[in-house]
Structure 1
Amino acid sequence: MLKKAIFLIIVFITSVLSVEAQKADLAAEWDWFEALEKHIHEANAEELLENKQEKLQSAKDIERSDIESRLSKELAFIHINKTNDLEKAMSMLIRALEIDESVDNETALIFTYLGFYQLFEQVEDYYYGKEFLEKASNILRNYDFPPLRLYINQKLGLTYYFIGETGKSIEQHQNILEYAEAERIPKIEAEAHTDLATIYANENVYEKALEHFKNALTIYRRIKSPFKEAECLNAIGDIYLMQNNQDKAYENYLVALDILKNLPKNNAHLAVLYNSVARYYLKENNAERALANLRLANPLAQTSQNQGLIQETYALLSKAYKVEKNYKMALEYSELYKALEDFLQKEKNDRSILKMQSRYSLNQKQSLIDKLELNRIQKEFELEEEKRFKNFLIIMVVLIAIILLLILTLFILQRKNNRRLKVANLKVKAQNDELEDLNATKDKFFSIISHDLKGPLNSLTSFSGLLMNHTSSLSTEEIQMLAKDLDKSLKNLFALLENLLQWSRSQTGNIEFTAEEFNVTEMLLENKKLLEKQAQNKNISIEVKNTKPISAKAHINSISTVIRNLLSNAIKFTAEDGQIKMGIVEEKNRYVVKIADNGVGMPKEVASKIFRIDTKHSTQGTAKEKGTGLGLILCKEFVEKNGGEIWVKSEEGKGTIFSFSIPKN
């Protein structure tokens, strides 16, 4: 009896330790998965791929299959979410699946299945995606880990709805709702109510939809989430409108509008609400009030760049003008609606073709997954057979296994903790380095701005003081001279502000550098014409050599800004009766634009610093024109954004040649 009791105690302790170790592994995998999703969203795809591929090769070299499995999954998630190279993602996931199944690593296998789900979700093949989610869910039944269970249930709820299994979708969301209510997680609870309300509304079960939307609204008010509150009110208003209860619909729309008007960055939300109010007025046959709201909605929809919202606004405008018997405007917006519909349909068709191609490629490799799954099932069967022949021998081995398992568990936990600590330290160091660079750039930037703004503003203050206090004692010629100086200061200030605005827009990502085909020669001629008057004031000739058309592909406005800045600088630093020559040289993979002058030139030490923001260099022109300090920095920024480079050759007293390249492709 004593021996049996000891044996049972040992088995129980082993079981508890094993479960706790698996739970710790699952928690670590979940932390890794969440951190990876965030990192992929924030980081650059090329850097991510290069870093992970190097680590993957190292893992293969040292034959660490566990590290290889994780890195294969990381590369797969990068290809799915960043590069959209689904075939590579499939290959990586298949390799991870081979490793995870060969070592029977269930916790790792869950996240491999989630990778396959994301892959098939990308091509809208929700049936295959559902299979992998269900496999992950089945494994997770052996573990008590709510965060991952919630994540999988939410994905299953959406997937079931997409494949038409509405009942299962509702069941999943109700399970999530019950858990959130029991654990008092208001955000998850509100989201579950919203998802259920949306499903019931789409199924025309309006009473249940209203019930869930109102419950979500109560929670969002309690946790102070105004955007979500406004969305719920709008949805409730829409349901009342579908039930022909116009008064209640209008009340909800007005409350939602009052909330949104006090919130920033809400153009799309406001446009949706104005459209909803317009629909209400159209139901009331009040075309005038409907149009008033649609005129507010249209510019907001355009600003949001939400094509579906713009299309909806066009349709409502056409309908409203038709009710008002303004058939010309009704036809105009109807045509806009149809044109946008054709464009969106073409985009949809193009996406469908690409998805079909990707789906075909993935299905070609599906047989490999099926083969691996068959091997896994066969392996499980063989293991079950072996268990029938194992009895007392296992009991004897357990004693040794306990010690080894404890050592191994401690070793794995320590290694994982060390790895996570190392990653965290590297991340903190990288963030500190980035912050130091940003602070240095910010300090230099504000130094340039304060210095360059002070000059023209002091001049303007002095000139205006002279004009105010000594007008009676100044001659007409002196006033004209002051006016010319004022004009120069204002133009210099305007040039500074224009370059500052362009630079800040490029830094904040507000300029989208979309390449378009254009004639480089024509751009040189246009900028010559634009600045010819400025050159004539100093009797400087500007010549464009070789005027045959040369076609390139880049962001037009930024390249024009570069040419204008360089030409303006050439005029500024060229003495009277000087010459400026502009031309284009074709090289193997690029065009090189050259702007040469016979002006004052500059020393080599100055030429090496003029494109850097961490140094300040601004020189007066030959007619005492003042530089902005940002022009050449902006030129370098714009040229590099277009995939080119910029450089300068100069000799003091003989002139300067600025050159920049534009890639042919």
Structure 2
Amino acid sequence: MASKYGYLLLILTFWYIVPVSHATEQDSLSTLYLQAKQEAELFVKSFGKNVTFKHQLDSLEAKVQSADGTRNGAYYIQFAKKYIKHTEVIDSILLMAEKHLRASNCQRGLGEALFYKGVRALDTQKVEEALGIFNEAAHIFKLANSPEGEVYCITRVANYHSKSRNYQLAEKYYKELLKRTEELGDVNLSEMAYLNVANFYNQQGKTDEAISYYSLLEKSLEKSNNKKRYKPLYNNLGVIYIYKKDWAKAKEYLHKSIAIKQEEGDSLGIFSSYQNLFRISVQTRQLDEATHYSSLMLDLAQKLNVPPNQMLAFNYNNTQYLILAGEPEKALNQFDEYVAVKDSINKAAFSDKLLQIEQGYEIEKRDQAIALLQQKDELQQEKLGNLKVVIAIVASFVIILLFNGFYMKRQWMKLNEADKRLKEKQQQILTINKRLESLNNSKDRILSVIGHDLRGPVGGLKELVELYMELPELEPQDITNLLNTARESSSSAYYLLENLLTWANSQRGEITYKPLLTPVLPVITKTIELLDQSINSKGIRFDINIESSLSLKIDINMFRTIIRNLVSNSIKHSPTNSLIEINTEVLKNGVQFSIIDQGHGMTASEVQQLFTKKEAYYISSDVSAKGTGLGLILCKEFVERHGGSIWVQSEEGIGTRVHFVIPAGQVTYNPKVSKEIYYSD
């Protein structure tokens, strides 16, 4: 009985210790990551404004040479965060960060890497990918016991659906956001959630719901005094109360917003708030206030580079103000300026408020005409009646001409654009047809050559099997010879098919270049061992002269394919008991690899044609050395993917030298030469 209780106690103890040890490990990794993150932030900030992006990138590469994956991931993330809007190299940097942090099992850092990958995906319009990444990041943050990271991911997804007007799905995520922040009890996260949810309802015109969440935010800010959230709170409440025509509250919140913007020196924000106060004073016919705000905004407009949509709104409001002030001539001039600014925007995105103004433009235009006539009657009385009518007619005619001209210009531009697109499509179709014709010809040629080359090895296997079936009582040595011949035939067919599959994937763009810093000698040695075992039936020796510590930043699969094809081609062309050399030489611009054989060689014209066409052809030194040429095509493509070059030197009766270079930026080595010689069995 005691032994049973002891066994149960052992199980419970193990069950308790394992999660605790895992949590302790994650806590330790998170601490290590946060320390590295602080170092990385200082490193990124250390670059001056005159330091080029390339120099910063080189400094980053030098900084992450250590074997500490967590530290490297932190540096990659902070660099990518600084240049999140930069070129596609940032995607590669974030991918490296993800790989390092997955390898080190640092969940906290991995969550941040995925978060910024999601931000990049949204910036490049990869919506489905971005949403998947944010969901995975939220899950990783949850495992890492980092609730703030999980909340930021949920907020990003909710805001995206809100901006896309997918309100039902957005509301689902916002409710989840409120639930998570309430569970956490974090004041800062709760305030962020209140602001985002209030903005969400404000965007839909649900002002009562928006005000309720803005009120929750305002109550929380009274305790936390988080000043950075006061500005959007007061500004948005002021705009909402304008829509509700509660002028007193609108003014109260707009003045509070202006006070904060003045402290921060946000001049454009002040101009925007004055715009709203100006609009209120015009709509409530408070002439003195309107005059005050018009003067302030004109003064700011001369000092600032005010966005076109803000100037358009100001010109519209100022037109109404001048009508209210009884200055019809200035009102007409201001209205002309409004039309001119509107034409110059050229499909700009207006704010929701300005869009509502434009939708009611026709009605307001009639109101303006009536108000203008009334002002003319009051100022000039009956003796100016005729002039008043003329002005109204001329103004209407000018407006009609402007709108008609604008409409005709737009139609003409659309027709030109459509004609341009049609011509581009026609040119694309011609280009595609030529490409398809070329691909079809290439397909026919390669199928013909492959059919010829496959018939030999497969036919040989068939004959060997039939011979064995007819003569089952062969001597062991004869059986061994048959198997060696079968192995050579099957290996030839296999390498031909592998080259064909690689070539096809290359044509479809499905081969991804993934460089890693890799020792070269083991890769070349293993590749030659496999070739020696499979297709070397001529007793050919291999002399490998490579520095044992030479390392290159290469795509291993591509590099292995280059070596395999070049060496197997040399085997095909080499006589029995000859020597194939594989050498390297460190140059100023990189490392040069050379594969040297003692075969029949080629003429100058044959060498010149080797890389001229991306299609199948024969390399015919003798009947047994025919090939499709795909191997050399793949070698050229893969060397160029590494930023290098490949060329051939050959002389009839002497042999062939194939050279290719990997650029210097990819190389690390210690000058210790290793020489290995392999002999065929």
Global fold match (TM > 0.5):
no
TM-score range, shorter chain: 0.3 to 0.5
Structure number, greater radius of gyration: 2
TM-score relative to the length of structure 1:
0.45
TM-score relative to the length of structure 2:
0.44
